[in-house]
A and B are shown apart, each in its own frame.
Chain A
Amino acid sequence: MLRPEKKSVATLFVSRKTWLHKLHPFNKLAYILLTGVVVYLGPAEWYVKAILIVLNLGLAIRGEVFKATWRLVWRTLLPLAFFMIVIHGLLYPENRTILISFYGVHFCQEGFLFALNILLQLTAVLTASLIFVLCTHPTDLITAISQAGFPQSLAYLVGSPMLLLPMMRARIRTIQDAQRSRGLDSEGSFKKRFLALFPLVAPLVLGSLVEIEQRSIALEIRGFSTTGPKTSFRTLSDTKWQQLLRWAMLSVSMLIIIYRIWK
């Protein structure tokens, strides 16, 4: 049985009433693109990336999502930074200049700087994407997709997984419990555990696949595949200058890309 536990899955979205939250989702997406292009194809100097990071953190403060941004950046990048600095500091193939040396192990400058550069790039792109993720209600994104003239089906594909996920998780718990109570061997040898894979996965997938038919009939009944314009419950503010801003960011990104290919 499928029992919905919660109505929808928790996204990273933080509900506030700032201008960043009201900004059209596509503008925030274009900003991620622009940041990515500048970071990876723009000037190689480290301070360009540092300026972008400061700018993004500033935006996060204006959007009142600084705490969440800060926490997510550390959670994502701390393990990465640890592996990156240790592995490249010790093993980067172009290591020459020894910074620290202990018991015959050399920690080198080239690998360290390489790791720092990668981490700066990642932080810049990550903070830009977090501004989008934290300040955009998923429904706004879905509304934006369908209002921009993309097919209604695309909006459905972005929206419905978020509603289905809690149900799927509930179903997985049921299967886990059922198989455990039947004596599924999750402690045994590699071969035993390997053979247990199919009986664990098959009921989940088969059960859901059969349900798809009902789901699609439900969609059909509600006129999902009809053509013609559809009215949306939510409206998004999309002013002239917002559209201008969007196109400006896209054009600058394109120009940088073309410039790099040209060179």
Chain B
Amino acid sequence: MAQSEKISKTFSTVTLALIAFAIVLNMAIGQLVSLLKLPIFLDSIGTILVGILAGPLAGGLTGLLTNLIWGLISSPVAAAFAPVAMMIGIVAGLCAKYGLFKTWWKVIIAGVIITIFNAIVAVPIRLYMFGGITGSGADFMTAYMLALGKDLLGSVVVTVFTSNLLDKVVTALLAWGIVKALPERTVSRLSRIDSVAT
């Protein structure tokens, strides 16, 4: 009974509306950021935000559903990486729970931790489903590593880690900055807000 109560508290109506918005944010933000031509995609900013504001369960659900719905509306390949997005949300939520979203340098550490867990889930999918190649710019990196004489696993690990590190750290910093800038009346409606010092 306690468990189901906990779940229904996690998924209050506000949290549901938050998750729905975060999913859309993940999908749409690329369009906004592409304006700046930076090597950053921010496609997990909503997931990390929900992780901070509503906990690991809600964060994981946000990531999972983002990629599944993405698969439905643009390309089924995105759905293959749904477990990765789920992991990002869970880890972000846990980082927030253990106080890693309180000061800027701790947030950077949280970004690095997220990148590591991202790689743990993404590497096997990339390796066994896609043979290490996904048809994106990151493939040049994999090719370069292979040319240096690394094995396929090593090359994919290096590629996934380096191509995500900057993105995840910046995403974590932005999410933290946004939560800090939220108005008081919105803040009071969200359950896990104590995870960010205000």
The CA-CA distance from A92 to B134 in the complex, in Å, is: 15
Flag if B42 contacts A87 (CB, 8 Å).
no
B23: Cβ under 8 A from any A Cβ: yes
Is B32 close to A, CB under 8 A? yes
Residue pair B20, A157 in contact (C-beta under 8 Å): yes
Proximity bits, A111-148, B CB within 8 Å = 1, else 0: 00011001001100110011001000010010000000
Provide the main secondary structure of the chain A interface.
helix
Query: Chain A: how many interface residues by the 8 Å CB criterion?
Result: 70
A164 and B170 in contact (CB under 8 A), knowing A169-B31, A198-B177?
Answer: no
Indicate whether A219 sits within 8 Å of B24 (C-beta atoms), given known contacts A157-B61, A176-B32.
no
CB-CB contacts of B17-56 with A at 8 A, as 1s and 0s? 1111101110111011101111010100100010000000
* 5 cross-chain pairs, A with B, having the tightest CB-CB distances, nearest first: A80-B135, A118-B131, A91-B146, A79-B135, A129-B76
1/0 per residue, CB under 8 A from A, across B130-168: the answer is: 110111000100110011000110000000000000000
Residues of B within 8 A of A60 (CB): none
Contact of A202 among B73, B77, B181 (CB under 8 A): B181
The answer to whether B20 and A156 touch across the interface, beta carbons within 8 angstroms, is: yes
Chain B's closest residue to A218 (CB) is: B17
A-contacting residues, B92-130, CB 8 Å: 128-130
Asked if B3 lies at the interface with its beta carbon under 8 angstroms from chain A, I say no
A162-177 interface code vs B (CB 8 A; 1 in, 0 out)? 1011001100100110
Which listed residue (B36, B129, B170, B189) contacts A213, Cβ 8 A?
B189
- For chain B, the count of residues having a C-beta within 8 Å of the partner chain is 64
User: Is B128 a contact partner of A40 (Cβ separation < 8 A)?
Assistant: yes
Asked whether A10 is an interface residue with its Cβ less than 8 Å from the other chain, the reply is yes
Shortest beta-carbon distance from A214 to chain B in Å: 9
10 contacts between A and B (CB under 8 A): A87-B139, A157-B23, A165-B27, A197-B170, A198-B174, A201-B32, A206-B181, A213-B185, A215-B17, A216-B14
**Inter-subunit contact A87/B146 (CB<8 Å):** yes
Query: A83-B133, A157-B65, A198-B177 are known contacts. Are A225 and B13 too (CB-CB below 8 A)?
Result: yes
Contacts beyond the supplied A122-B130, A157-B16, A205-B178: 20 A-B pairs with Cβ under 8 Å: A76-B76, A80-B133, A80-B135, A87-B143, A92-B152, A118-B129, A151-B11, A156-B16, A164-B24, A165-B73, A168-B24, A168-B28, A176-B32, A197-B170, A201-B32, A201-B174, A206-B178, A209-B21, A212-B17, A212-B186
| In the complex, A11 has a CB within 8 A of chain B | yes
Q: Which residues of B contact A164 (CB under 8 A)?
A: 20-21, 24
**Complex interface: chain B residues within 8 A of A82 (CB):** 135
Chain A neighbourhood of B17, CB < 8 A: 212-213, 215-216, 219
Task: Give the chain A neighbours of B131 by CB distance below 8 A.
Answer: 84, 88, 114-115, 118
